[in-house]
Amino acid sequence: MLRHPAWGAICLLAVSLILCTDKLCTDAGPSSYALDDEDDDGGGDGSSSFSFASPQATPDELAFGFYDGTCPNAEAIVASTVRELFAADSNVAAALVRLFFHDCFVHGCDASVLLDRINGGKSERDAAPNRSLRGFGAVDKIKARLERQCPGTVSCADILALAARDSLVLVGGPTYPVLTGRRDSAGSFYDDVSVPAPNATYAMTLSAFARRGFTERETVALLGAHSIGKVQCRFFRDRIDNFAGTGEPDDSLDADMVGEMRAVCGGDGAAPMEMGYYRQGREVGFGAHYYAKLLAGRGILRSDQQLTAGSTVRWVRAYASGQRGEEAFREDFAHAMVKLSALAPLKGSAGQVRISCSKSIE
């Protein structure tokens, strides 16, 4: 695919404009959406601000169009394969987004979550929070197509970053710039896997995200990814019958929601045994309906419902406030995803580019 010589500069400007809209850049100014729940001082803890550095297209950094000279169709191959997989099974979108989150939360976005066991040692895939991850086969299919076109060129870490963005767009989410040039880790980090648990309190969730540099507002925005996908009953069954040993359901749950959850998780083999935050009339759809459901006591996971239990409720209310809130959520989510994508990537000569995403190069 031929591009004008000025294309790189144009793309760099485009990224800067996207990331720096209304001072959402290195000066950490407020979002362009001044929400009703936002304090006049910007939230005090910086929760209403973002701090993105402008991308630098140097050899040892992530760049826009990193593969233009070595595999010019790379991003198009990822996008077309994701579309094909989505057409066959729409659940793949949520699976790929979740894979990306779980990867970036452990030593950054380095595709370590994809590795099988190495020399008999446990991999991240063996850790409890990752045993329900899906989408590995989808990544393998994308990688195989790239290897046929450009052997040993496109990293699995970049595949995850691009596939997550493309998946979100397919389910109605916002698009956002994805810089490339990440490299893959040579090892997996079983002992370091730490993601917020399904039953986490809001304080525990905030702490987990804060350790990775995310503000309160960014955290609430990122959890909006739960608006897509499905949750297996085993992650919330304790909320509907004997919550915390009380013999009663979680009192933060709406009574009708308890009944719906019991019907899904009846265990008779006929029930689907999983639930999702669906939009009215459709199963797959990204959006702020997730926050409206939390305000109505219809959070499936306790960690979701807990967003209404503390200071985070202001952002839940803001995002649930009609069209204006939806637009603010989409903008905030896109910026937070750019920030997530930039977590501690391996660059330059660090790491490797795997031939198979599940196997490290010896």
Binding-site positions for Ca(2+): 103, 106, 108, 110, 112, 124
Residues in the annotated binding site: 103, 106, 108, 110, 112, 124, 196, 226
Measured CA to CA, the distance from residue 213 to residue 264 in angstroms comes to 37
Residues in the annotated binding site for heme b: 226
Residues in the annotated binding site for substrate: 196
Q: Would you say 328 and 35 are in contact if contact means Cβ atoms under 8 Å apart?
A: yes
Measured CA to CA, the distance from residue 190 to residue 184 in angstroms comes to 16
Q: Give the side-chain half-sphere CA count within 13 A for 148.
A: 7
| Closest alpha carbon to 294 in 282, 308, 309 | 308
Would residue 102 show up in a list of annotated catalytic residues for this protein? yes
16 burial (CB, 10 Å; 0-12 / 13-18 / 19+) is middle
Catalytic residue among 102, 107, 289, 335: 102
In eight-state DSSP terms, residue 54 is P
In eight-state DSSP terms, residue 112 is G
Helices 91-104 & 136-149, crossing angle to 10 degrees? 90
137: its two tokens = 């086969």
Catalytic residue list: 102
